[in-house]
């Protein structure tokens, strides 16, 4: 399968394809998201039309956005990291214990979160890149370790009452011009939480990095073809190592954001988020084979995933199992569409 990105990298090639795989999959995702949301607004109306409803998707999923972006980076290099959900949980629990029982403050929380992420990233990255162990097995062990450590830190849920922390948690940033009147006619401004701003910043930074920096482009090159990347003079091991470190640090950051959103440490925090992150990345057009993907797509992937969850629950299927079944169905649809589109594109080229 010729990779569009490989051609993209040596931009001077004359028969450069009109559209790379990455752009094609990205546009499908964005179109689908807008169709979904428009469908929701017109068919279900009411709450979906309110801007705050849209912003709440962001508020509830700031952590998932960050996790998914990290996942996309690793997936672009051809790896995978299934430890992110468990790392999120470990960070939440450790931060909660630190704030409640050890008199920590916001600074220590941030240090702990990023530190745990960095530690996981360095170990996992080393095992994957330098010892050549399959990323799935390495991150599987990472997931087990983080899950076990969480219960060693504390088995009981820890609710945080630290004032400095609660002040940050409850900070709401008003979005000008998007408010709507409530039933009493009072004007309620639309707001986002602090986490959303950080998550959006991460998306923009990663987008720029993947697109314009040497490191970002070497991620694509390594994922597209290990050997040719090596011949181009890219340090494949170092690149893979950095991808895993980046992903785990983002998982740590995701943990902090999750903690900021829920305000407690619990062994059930972030459960299943690794699969949500993988699903969002795939819906966003990242291929597990590597070399193709975009964090902007991942961002829309998270939004699509949660929009469809909301649509299903507001259609009246509010039993717990429907949400999972719809996510699975959506994942299935996207995978089949991607596979068919890419297959067609590649056969028509030959």
Partner 1 sequence: MSTVKNPETQVRRPDESLFKRLTRQQLFIPVAALVLLVLFNLIADPSFFMVSIKENSLGNPVLSGNIVSVLDNASELVILAIGMTLVTASSGGQDISVGATMAIAGSVILRMVCGGQVSADTMQMPLILAVLIGILATMLCGAFNGALVAYFNIQPMVATLIMYTAGRSIAAWINNNQLPIINDLAFKYAGTFLPGIPVPTPIFITALVILAFWLILKFTTLGLYTQSVGINANSSRLNGLDPKLIKLLTYVILGVCVALAGFIRVSRSGSINYSRIAENIEMDAILAVALGGNALSGGKFNIYGSILGAYVIQFLTTTLYKYDVPSTALPAYKAVVVILLVVLSAPVVREKLANMKKAPAKAAKEVS
Q: Which is nearer to partner 1, 32 or 75 (CB)?
A: 75
| Cα 292-298-301 angle, rounded to 5 deg | 120
CB 58 within 8 A of CB 118: no
| Cα 211-215-216 angle, rounded to 5 deg | 25
Q: How far is residue 239's CA from residue 219's CA, in Å, rounded to a whole number?
A: 6
Q: Which is nearer to partner 1, 314 or 323 (CB)?
A: 323
Q: Which is nearer to partner 1, 39 or 322 (CB)?
A: 322
Closest by CA to 298, choosing from 261, 345, 250, is 250
Q: Shortest distance, CB of residue 47 to partner 1, whole angstroms?
A: 25
Closest by CA to 274, choosing from 114, 182, 136, 129, is 136
| φ/ψ bin of 188: left (φ > 0), alpha (ψ from -120 to 50), beta (otherwise) | beta
Q: Shortest distance, CB of residue 126 to partner 1, whole angstroms?
A: 10
Q: Which is nearer to partner 1, 167 or 343 (CB)?
A: 343
The neighbouring-strand residues paired with 190 are: 175
Q: Shortest distance, CB of residue 55 to partner 1, whole angstroms?
A: 26
Q: Which is nearer to partner 1, 147 or 261 (CB)?
A: 147
The neighbouring-strand residues paired with 180 are: 188
Q: Which is nearer to partner 1, 106 or 275 (CB)?
A: 275
Q: Shortest distance, CB of residue 21 to partner 1, whole angstroms?
A: 14
Q: Residue 192 belongs to what H/E stretch?
A: strand 187-193
For tokens 């990290």, name the residue: 70
Q: Which is nearer to partner 1, 201 or 336 (CB)?
A: 336
DSSP string, 165-226: HHHHHT-EEEEEEEEEE-TTS-EEEEEEEHHHHHHHHHHHHHHHHHHHSHHHHHHHHHHH-H
Q: Shortest distance, CB of residue 123 to partner 1, whole angstroms?
A: 8
Q: Shortest distance, CB of residue 320 to partner 1, whole angstroms?
A: 7
Q: Which is nearer to partner 1, 148 or 157 (CB)?
A: 148
Q: How far is residue 6's CA from residue 4's CA, in Å, rounded to a whole number?
A: 5
Tokens, residue 274: 């690794």
Q: Shortest distance, CB of residue 348 to partner 1, whole angstroms?
A: 16
For residue 14, CA distances in Å to 18, 22, 161, 196, 237 come to: 11, 19, 62, 42, 31
Q: How far is residue 283's CA from residue 333's CA, in Å, rounded to a whole number?
A: 9
Number of residues in the chain: 350
Q: Which is nearer to partner 1, 34 or 144 (CB)?
A: 144
Catalogue the E-assigned strands of 240-284. Answer: 264-265
CB 166 within 8 A of CB 27: no
Q: Shortest distance, CB of residue 258 to partner 1, whole angstroms?
A: 20
Q: Shortest distance, CB of residue 150 to partner 1, whole angstroms?
A: 8
Q: Site residues (CB under 8 A) for partner 1?
A: 80, 127, 130-134, 136-138, 140-145, 147-149, 151-152, 155, 267, 275, 278-279, 282, 287-289, 319-325, 327-329, 331-332, 335-336, 339-340, 343
Q: Which is nearer to partner 1, 134 or 213 (CB)?
A: 134
Q: Shortest distance, CB of residue 347 to partner 1, whole angstroms?
A: 12
């Amino acid at each position: 399968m010729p990779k569009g990105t490989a051609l993209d990298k040596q931009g001077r090639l004359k028969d450069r394809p009109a559209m790379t795989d990455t752009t094609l999959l990205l546009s499908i995702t964005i179109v689908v998201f807008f169709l979904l949301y428009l469908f929701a607004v017109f068919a279900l109306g009411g709450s979906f039309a309110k801007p705050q409803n849209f912003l709440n998707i962001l508020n509830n999923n700031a952590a998932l956005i960050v996790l998914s972006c990290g996942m996309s980076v690793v997936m672009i290099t051809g790896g995978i990291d299934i430890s992110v959900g468990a790392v999120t949980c470990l960070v939440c629990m450790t931060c909660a214990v630190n704030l409640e029982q050890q008199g920590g403050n916001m600074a220590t929380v941030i240090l702990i979160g990023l530190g745990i992420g960095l530690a996981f990233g360095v170990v996992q990255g080393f095992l994957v890149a330098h010892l050549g162990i399959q990323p799935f097995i390495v991150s599987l062990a990472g997931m087990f370790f983080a899950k076990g450590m969480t219960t060693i830190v504390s088995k009981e849920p820890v609710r945080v009452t630290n004032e400095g922390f609660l002040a940050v948690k409850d900070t709401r940033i008003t979005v000008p011009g998007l408010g709507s009147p409530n039933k009493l006619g009072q004007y309620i401004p639309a707001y986002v939480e602090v986490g959303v701003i950080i998550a959006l910043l991460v998306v923009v930074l990663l987008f720029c990095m993947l697109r314009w920096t040497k490191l970002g482009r070497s991620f694509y090159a390594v994922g597209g073809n290990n050997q040719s990347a090596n011949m181009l003079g890219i340090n494949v091991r170092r690149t893979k190592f950095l991808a895993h470190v980046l992903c785990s640090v983002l998982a740590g950051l995701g943990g902090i954001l999750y903690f900021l959103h829920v305000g407690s440490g619990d062994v059930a925090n972030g459960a299943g988020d690794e699969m949500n992150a993988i699903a969002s990345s795939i819906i966003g057009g990242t291929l597990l084979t590597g070399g193709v993907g975009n964090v902007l797509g991942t961002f829309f992937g998270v939004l699509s995933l949660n929009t469809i969850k909301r649509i299903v629950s507001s259609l009246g299927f509010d039993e717990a199992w429907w949400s999972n079944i719809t996510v699975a169905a959506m994942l299935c649809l996207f995978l089949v569409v991607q596979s068919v589109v890419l297959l067609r594109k590649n056969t028509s080229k030959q």
